[in-house]
Amino acid sequence: MKSKVFYKNPKTILNKGTGFLSGYTHSLNPYTGCSFGCSYCYVRQMPVSLFREGEWRDWIDVKNGAATLLGKELHRSKAKGNKRIKAYLC
């Protein structure tokens, strides 16, 4: 079965790094969801997938303009010091 693709228009693309991301200042998620649906994936048990209709592998949310948003956010935050970003590209 093919995944349904939905397009979102987020205001930001970077998220503050917390928890197990303590070695990073931010995380980058250009999309949410997955077309693989691996049984061992920890994300399928997170709120982002628990409160959606359909199985984890059935939908993908693509964040429009991810590259442009990233450029703008990095430009704005340049004065605040270096960034260490963990990108999620499942």
Among 64, 60, 63, 36, CA closest to 48: 60
- Cα gap 60→89, rounded to integer Å: 12
pLDDT attached to residue 7: 95
> Best-predicted range by mean pLDDT among 2-6, 45-49, 77-81, 82-86?
2-6
Q: The pTM is what?
A: 0.72
Return the number of other C-beta atoms located less than 10 Å from residue 47's C-beta.
7
Q: Which of the four pLDDT bands, split at 50, 70 and 90, describes residue 85?
A: confident
Least trusted range by pLDDT, from 11-15, 56-60, 80-84: 80-84
pLDDT attached to residue 49: 73
- Cα gap 86→89, rounded to integer Å: 10
